[in-house]
Structures are given as C-alpha cells and as structure tokens.
Structure 1
C-alpha cells in the first residue's frame, strides 16, 4: 500500500517538527528562549560558565516578571535559572562542556539555527536582489566548470574569462592614464551586496557547531562500540587508534569542513578577511546601515575564527578521549560492570511490580561484616625470654677484626682511637675543630668519616658553636678531596679524661 502525496508531505513535516530547531521555535516559551539565548551568547561570547548562566537566566526571568510579562502562563517558565538551563540542556538547546576544568554551556547547532531563523524573521523577509541572483548564478557556473571533463570546453571558458578581465584591466588603465576616477557604484547596490554577505555569514555558526557535534557523536559511537567489543586487544587498538587519528574524515560534515578549512584555516586568510571588513566599514555607503548590521559585518571574521577553533578543539578532544579509552580499555572489567548493572536493573524490575507507591528501600550504608565466632583473648608476652648478651669490649672487637684488609678498613668508619689521642695531645684547654682537623698530619685520619668522628668527640667533651662558618677539605682514601662547611665549633680537650 503506497502513501498518498498528502500523507508523505505530512509525515515529512511531522519528522521536521521533531527537530530541536523547530521545537525551540514552536515551543510554549519560544520568545523567552530566543530572547535569553540571543542576549547571553554572541560572537564575542561563544561559551558561558554554567554558574554564570544560571545567575543570568534567573535575573532575566525575574526582570521580565517584575515588568509584568508573567500574566499569561504561556510567556515565562517557572523555576529558577538553574532549573531552566538544565531543561534546555536536556532538550538539546544547550551543550554542557568542560574546558580547562571549568564547566561551560555552549549553543547546540539546533539552537544556533533557531536563533538565525528568528533573527531573519524579525528583520523582515529577504529581498530577491541582484546580489543574491548573482551569487546563485556564479555558484551554478562554478559547479558547471568543476563538473566539466572536456578540456576544450574548459579552455574556451577560461579564455573567455581572461578576455573579460583583460578588457576590464585596459579600461581601468585608460582611466588612470587620463587621471580620471572610476564611476562610483550606487549605494543601494552596495547595501544589497552587504545584506547578501550578512545572509551568507549567518549560516556559518550553525554549520560549524553541526560539524563539532558530528565529531562528538562519532566519538560516543566509537566508545560505545569499544565497550561492546570482544575482539583481541591488539586488533581493537589498531582500529580505534586509526579512527582517533583520522577523526575528521570519519563523518560527512567533517570531510566537508576539511575542504573548507583549506580556504579559511590559514591565519593569514582570517587576518586578510578582518582587514577587508574594516576597510568596508570605512566606506561612505555604510552610513546607511543600521548599528546591528555594522556589528554583524564586523563580527564575521570573529565568527569564522571561533567556528574553526571550535571544530578543531572537538577534533583534538575526540582524538584524546578515544586514544585514552583504548589504552585503558579492560574488557573483563567492563563486562563485570555491565553484569553488575544488569543485575541491579533486573532486581529493580522485579521489585517495582510488587511494590506500592509509598514503599521505600533502605539504602546500604555499610558493607556487611564477616561473622566471627571467637577471638583470642590473650596474646603472647612480647618480652624476650632472655636478656641480651653484654657488649664485647672494643679492643677485643678490633683484635677479632684483624682479618679485614687495609683497603676495606680505609673506607670504613672513623678512627676513634687515633683521633682521641690526637685531641688529647692538643695544647691548651680549647681548640677550633676546623683548625684541628686541618692540622692532622696523616691523610688516613683526614677522611670525611674522621671529620664526623672528630665532631662526635668534640660533642662528647663539650663544645661551643658560634655564628661563623668553618670550611675544611677532607681526603678520601683514593686521593680525591671533598670540601665541607659547618658552623664553627670550639671544643674542650679534657686532658685529664680517659679515652672511652
């Protein structure tokens, strides 16, 4: 059974009105939504922090209520600014994102398109002008030339274009030779051309956002397929890393943008476009333009630059997310999580039919503990059964360590016996530790370890520190030197004390 033309047209219209763009314009609070989004977002402010958006929307609705626009319940929505923004994000008019740790709202492609439609409708119907017809004819001509495969036909067209250009160049050169001026173009024609440029530029923001959203949708599709994938990890890694590196070629919108990027992606082209627009704004005919038109003309380059950056940021973000997900992908863990979620959903589905409206489930506030029948009530005595053996005499230890070779002894600890004898032989009741260390004759007792031993002996006998800094050079057994700096120390000799 075939559908009639009326049914086909009606079904197509029903499908069209399910699009968020028409849903926004046909919604209950459409004037409020369009007005708020058009004020909150602009070419200079492509994204708004979520916290700021909640405050601004709340202030906006309160001002309208105070002005008396809430008399009809169809004009203003209920709730706070946060509630309104969350609803707009849920229906697809706002897109929440995170940039450098800051949560932001951005307009979706559907919202940008709806604002452009509302702006064009509010500014009057577009006129059938010479500029619009010329743009159409030039586009058709360019399409015809691009599709032509006969080289003779293409050469004939190119020669015709060259002849036209040569004639125009000759005319301008003749006027310049006579020191004349070109006839000015009528201001009405320039204004028509300007309106056509503005009309074309209004389509760009929605196109850029649509490309970015197609890349984000491809990213979500890749991740969903990855979580369901049960192939070997190496095969998954190769395929998805390739898709992550070539994310721009993965969608029709991305491929179209890649071609357009060759024309507008170079910063020099953006700078040249900005310079051209600034020159246009200085021409006399622009005085007939409204302030809004001049601002829109000035913002064209900014919109193009922001749109390119938004698409490239979406590409970089998608590549990073896909690459990170592939590297951390654990099929076993994902299957365990999926099994747990399915069991929770199955339990919920079994409980809902049997429950009543007022039934509640007590949440699990802590994990269950193991049931232990009996714990030990006594512990063993931590004290050792026997006292440790007394320390042996140091002399005996030295005698028993005579088997150690000379090289090992040279790299060992301080020579306490020699150092104590040296300190005892110093004249006077006190000595400067740095000077005493430098005066040691034997290099074997001027090692870094011996400096530490001398400090220990000085501390044991009693020392006095000063605010000055002492610097000494120590000699290692291999002949290398090491310089040490420490607070100046004066120690007592204690000649009457016996060596420990």
Structure 2
C-alpha cells in the first residue's frame, strides 16, 4: 500500500483505480478496464499532461500498466462466475484508496460523537471482561430505571430532546470514518482465505502420504478455513452481528431515516453518497468473503480428490531428467547446430503382444428354448387385454348401439360399451373406425372415462364426434380386424 502511494505516478494510479472501481462496480472486465484506461490516457495526453514538468504519465498502454499493477499486488486478476476474466482491487489497493480518500476528503475532528464512540466501546469492553454477576445485575437495574423514567416522561406528554444539526453532522462524519475501514478489512479477510487455499494446495501437491490420510486432513482444513486465520476468526465474529438479513434491513431503514433529516443537506454530495452506500458495501464485503470461502473449499476438495502423489512424483522425476539432459547438451552445442527432432517416442521392447482382444474360445450358439409342457398351467391373466383395439367387437357394439338411427355419438357409444371395451386403446380404435366411416365434428368438448385392465381409470377430453350408422356403410379393409399386424 505504501509502495503505491509513494510511486512517482501515484496520483495517476490512485485516480484511475478510484474511477474504475466503485461500490456499485467492485469488479471490472479485463477488456473494459483496458479500454477505459486507454481512453483516460489519451484524454490526459491530449490535455498536455505527460511532460516531465507537468504531471508525468507512465509509459505503455493499458494492458502493460494493468500487468504491472497485478505484479505489484494492487490488482487481482481472476475468473468470475460467468467465465469472464475480471480485475478487482486487492486489499493493498483498497487500503491505498481509503488513505487517499481520507486525505482528500473532510478531515476528521475530535468531536463529541467520536469521544462517545470511544467511551461506549471502553464501557462495553469493561462489561464483557468483568465476570462479576452482582455488578452486571446492578448495571442492568440502573439502565432499566433510566429507561422507565424516560418512558414515563414521554407518556406524560414530554418531548424528545432535539439535537442540533452541528452535533448530527459530527455524528455522520464519525459514521463515515468508521465505514471507510470496512472494505479494506473485508478484502484482507478474502485474501487471507485465498493465501490459505494456495498454501494447502501447495502442501498437498508435495505430499507423499496415503490418499485417505490426506483426504481427511485437508478436507477438514477446507471446511474450517474460517477458523484457521486471525482475519477469518475476526470476520466470523463480525458476521454473527451483520450476517443476519434482519440486521441489514434495519440498517437500511435507519440510513433512510438519517438521509431524510435536514442536516444531511450540509454534507457534501460525496459524503451523502457514501452514507447511502454503507449497507450495500457491507453486503458486498460479506458476499466477497463468503465467495472466497466457498471457492477455497471447492478447490481444496477437488485437489484432494484428483491428487495422485505417485503420478506427480513421476512427472517431477521426468522433468528433472529433461533438465539434466539440457544441462549436458547445451554447453557442447552451437547456436547454428542442427537439432534432429524426435519423430516418435521410444517403444518398450516386448516379445509379442496379442493381436486380438476377442475371446479365444469359439462362439457358441444361444441356449435352446425350453419345450412347452402342455401339462403346465396356463396363466390366468388375459395378456390380450393389454394389446391393441378390438376392432371387430367395437364395430359390432357401434352398430348395435346405433340401432335404426342415422348417426351415432361416439362418446355416448363408448360410455355404453361393456367394461372390457372401455380401455384407452379401445377409445382410439373407436375414433379410428369413426374416421374411416365418415365422422362429423361437433363444437362441444366431450369427456369420457376409460378403464385400464388393472382397473385404474383415466379421463380423456376430445372434440365431440358423430359417425354414420355402420349398418348402412361399407366396412373398410383396414378396419375389419382381418390384418394380423393390426
């Protein structure tokens, strides 16, 4: 952080980073960042900046500058959840911007609000450190009496003591001073988790212990990663206070109450915006830390599952052999010497390999079917009940149901059919017979109930259909039931 603030081009770097990264945009796509920085450089150079005596600018384009800032530890380049490469500020970069913001903004003052915050913190510290039960009871009784007296005064028509705008302004500045420290703290917690992840993975890759032992140890560390660093333990304690959605909702409502007061008109526009964004910045910080925790646990778990110490050791030995061969070959070689490429990898010298992977035994025919014994009992279940439509029976039923009528309603005929002809397939067969015999659609929707062979029932809805009496119409060849395939 100090290296960033002490550089020759610190004003340019700090300004550009503050323009790129805002509370509403904590991460920026790599392509967008390069385009915006190049545009800023062009505008500054066109305005006359960049000379030795007029705010010198760094050399190179935006890609080179971002690469330098990543190497210096001010930016972090990573892949987002949408598989897009993005930049985000590191904890050092966030700290540098906070320092620059405090220096360039309103100077904090020793005010009543800041002193009260300090005294309240000391009082709470003393109460938490004092294990005396009687002393705690006495303090609670005094506080209860004070609250009851204040409540009685207000119920009797008392008024709320008004606080002048100057004191409210001092309190708001104190809140902003405290809130400016949060983004850097959250970033440090997230980066400490990432450092822990890299350390665990590095140790895992160098490990030669049994896989089961490594799995138990490192999965436990991955699950308890928030408890293994001082920053993680501190954040876990803070998360119990601010991680509750109800607490965040209360914070939003309290900030809106403050912003509706007239004293906020005395605040500069930048400070009013900072006051509005406090709750959002807290939410973003919590989400950043929790995301880093989930990613670390996922990476460690994946590495443990896919880790093979023996394979890694073989790869390391192979690389060492290659480097040793280079060390022997390079001193005796010339720059213009021809190097014969390795056309193919060496093959192990084995006597003979099998030329076929099939079974050496000759193929055998399948086992013959068992002969049917007529003495065996024939199953009682009528397997034909699960077959296709019974066209002959359906035509006979339709003709009998029609009697002397010229036209027959298909739905009424189906409802009047015996139960063995009320299967879903029989409904389809009846509609098929009606289609072949010249059916007429009606405007109403008809609902019928079909019965399956297992006595389960299904309801079907279709457009009303009437058909000509089959007694006076010819029988199509496709519907007489004579075709075995039908």
Structures share fold, TM-score greater than 0.5 = yes
What is the alpha-carbon distance in structure 2 between the residues aligned to residue 282 and residue 288 of structure 1? 12
**Which residue of structure 1 lines up, in the alignment, with residue 78 of structure 2?**
97
Q: 1:115 to 1:341 in 2, by over 3 A?
A: farther
Say if 2:187 and 2:289, in contact at 8 Å, map to a contact too: yes
Say if 1:175 and 1:182, in contact at 8 Å, map to a contact too: no
Gaps of 5+ in 1: 1-20, 372-402, 409-433, 440-468, 471-478, 481-487, 491-500
Q: 1:219 to 1:367 in 2, by over 3 A?
A: farther
Deviation at 1:163, TM superposition (A): 2.9
What is the alpha-carbon distance in structure 1 between the residues aligned to residue 322 and residue 131 of structure 2? 63
1:13-52 CA deviation, whole Å, 9 max, x = no partner? xxxxxxxx11110112111111011111111101111111
What is the alpha-carbon distance in structure 1 between the residues aligned to residue 8 and residue 326 of structure 2? 35
Q: When the two structures are superposed, what TM-score results if normalisation uses the length of structure 2?
A: 0.68
Deviation at 1:246, TM superposition (A): 1.2
The alignment of Structure 1 onto Structure 2 pairs a total of residues equal to 363
**Which residue of structure 2 lines up, in the alignment, with residue 130 of structure 1?**
112
**Which residue of structure 2 lines up, in the alignment, with residue 458 of structure 1?**
none
1:280-299 CA deviation, whole Å, 9 max, x = no partner? 11111111111111100000
**Which residue of structure 1 lines up, in the alignment, with residue 156 of structure 2?**
174
Gaps of 5+ in 2: 348-367, 374-387, 393-434, 437-452, 455-475, 479-486
1:406-439 CA deviation, whole Å, 9 max, x = no partner? 769xxxxxxxxxxxxxxxxxxxxxxxxx99x989
1:136-186 CA deviation, whole Å, 9 max, x = no partner? 11111111111112222222222232333233323333334xxxx433211
Deviation at 1:64, TM superposition (A): 1.1
- Structure 1's consecutive aligned runs of 4 or more residues displaced over 3 angstroms after TM superposition are 340-352, 358-371, 403-408
Q: 1:68 to 1:148 in 2, by over 3 A?
A: same
Q: Are positions 1:66 and 2:42 aligned together? A: no
Say if 2:108 and 2:174, in contact at 8 Å, map to a contact too: no
> Given the alignment, which residue of 17, 30, 35 partners 2:10?
30
Q: Are positions 1:310 and 2:291 aligned together? A: no
Deviation at 1:234, TM superposition (A): 1.1
1:214-245 CA deviation, whole Å, 9 max, x = no partner? 11111111111111111111111111111111
**Which residue of structure 1 lines up, in the alignment, with residue 94 of structure 2?**
112
> Given the alignment, which residue of 26, 46, 54 partners 2:26?
46
> Given the alignment, which residue of 263, 273, 281 partners 1:295?
273
**Which residue of structure 2 lines up, in the alignment, with residue 83 of structure 1?**
64
SS at match of 1:244: helix
**Which residue of structure 2 lines up, in the alignment, with residue 8 of structure 1?**
none
**Which residue of structure 2 lines up, in the alignment, with residue 57 of structure 1?**
37
What is the alpha-carbon distance in structure 2 between the residues aligned to residue 251 and residue 362 of structure 1? 55
* TM-align CA RMSD: 3.2
Q: 1:301 to 1:364 in 2, by over 3 A?
A: farther
Deviation at 1:211, TM superposition (A): 0.5
> Given the alignment, which residue of 130, 137, 140 partners 2:122?
140
Matches within 5 A, 1:92-491: 92-100=73-81, 101-176=83-158, 181-345=159-323, 367-368=343-344
Q: 1:341 to 1:90 in 2, by over 3 A?
A: farther
Deviation at 1:75, TM superposition (A): 2.6
1:436-491 CA deviation, whole Å, 9 max, x = no partner? x989xxxxxxxxxxxxxxxxxxxxxxxxxxxxx99xxxxxxxx99xxxxxxx999x
Deviation at 1:72, TM superposition (A): 2.1
**Which residue of structure 1 lines up, in the alignment, with residue 356 of structure 2?**
none
What is the alpha-carbon distance in structure 2 between the residues aligned to residue 351 and residue 115 of structure 1? 52
Q: 1:278 to 1:369 in 2, by over 3 A?
A: same
34-43 vs 53-62, which moves further? 53-62
1:316-367 CA deviation, whole Å, 9 max, x = no partner? 1011111111011100111122223444555666788x599x9589899764
